[in-house]
Amino acid sequence: MASTDDKFGNLDDTFHTEFNAKYQKKGIRLPFEPRSAKYKCFLVEITPEIARHILQYYNEDNRGLSNTQVNRIFKSIEHDNWLLDGQPITFNVEGNLTEGQHRLSAIAKCKHGRKFLCVIVTGVQLEVFSKTATNKPRRPFDEIKRHNKKAVVSQASVLGDILKRRKGDKLCIQNAIFYYDNWIKDIKIAQLSSGEYEKVFTKFTNQRKTVSAYIALCERFGKSDECATFLELLNEELKDDDEDNVSSTLTLEFVKFWNKQAVDLSNEKRMDLLYAMLCYATDQTILREDGMINFNATPTDLDHDAMRKQGVYRKFLA
């Protein structure tokens, strides 16, 4: 089988003239040759015009483009500028782009006159997509762990649930450290309380992060006493299945409602329902501390659009 050098002959010596002649006619002179038989690495300043040109003429053997990813990178450039992260833009021996099309697409959206220093690698082998093991995707927790070696996965899970309940940012690599530092004190308090409400966390074992997120939110927004009162009553309720041994009207009806309404839901929907139920029950506890008050809610009452207008649910959204 012919080697790469044999296949392309003296490509690196002869391509330059052909390359520049072709693209000078189009008004673009690329500062490097994407097609190369030799494996090379160098720095190049890429302009939006160059980026668009590469995408149009040297991107014929790549995966589909994700506009969401392009917009995410573009927003990052606009907010934090172009960061020198060491990630290269790569081209195979035929001159086709293999890595970097989303970054180039984001650069292409930028204003005329901007320049972006990029690491360029040419001469990448053709078989890399099918034969090379893929990189392990980075998760928000990986960034948190890099920042704080004592962090544990469950803390990131609770943090993600907190952000979901607040209907704001989703936990991602870019915001993980900021939100971790902001919420970790409340999260630790919430997780420590699991021992005090053992029956509650056992009953809702698949929704532990949501219960912890609820406790953390109560801690943050000054509702820790009401939260503790309700969870203590609920914990007592769950200690005995005997309906004659009722902790409170509120907790009895809370458990019955959950057992009936949650049974056919996905776990994601169960977490949404449980969170709304906990917020609603907290409002009822505020009205009557001993829990001798009806739960008195329907599934419609617990929908986000209804809940966001009242009580602690609304307060936690702020």
Task: Encode pLDDT of 263-312 as tens digits.
Answer: 999 999 999 999 999 999 999 999 999 999 999 999 999 999 999 999 99
Task: Encode pLDDT of 160-211 as tens digits.
Answer: 999 999 988 899 999 999 999 999 999 999 999 999 999 999 999 999 999 9
Decide if 75 contacts 110 (C-beta within 8 A).
Answer: no
What pLDDT score does 75 carry?
94
This prediction's pTM: 0.74
Q: What is the mean pLDDT of residues 138-148?
A: 94
Q: State the first-to-last Cα distance of the chain, in angstroms, to the nearest integer.
A: 66
Strands (E), the chain: 40-46, 89-92, 97-99, 116-124
Q: What is the number of other CB atoms lying within 10 angstroms of the CB of residue 303? A: 13
Please report which helix (H) or strand (E) contains residue 16, including its range: helix 11-24
Task: Encode pLDDT of 257-272 as tens digits.
Answer: 999 999 999 999 999 9
What pLDDT score does 130 carry?
79
Task: Encode pLDDT of 24-82 as tens digits.
Answer: 445 678 999 999 999 999 999 999 999 999 999 999 989 899 999 999 999 999 999 99
In b/e form, how buried is each residue of 145-184, taking b as 16+ CB within 10 angstroms?
Answer: beeeeebeeebbbbbbbbbbbeeeeebeeebbeebbeebb
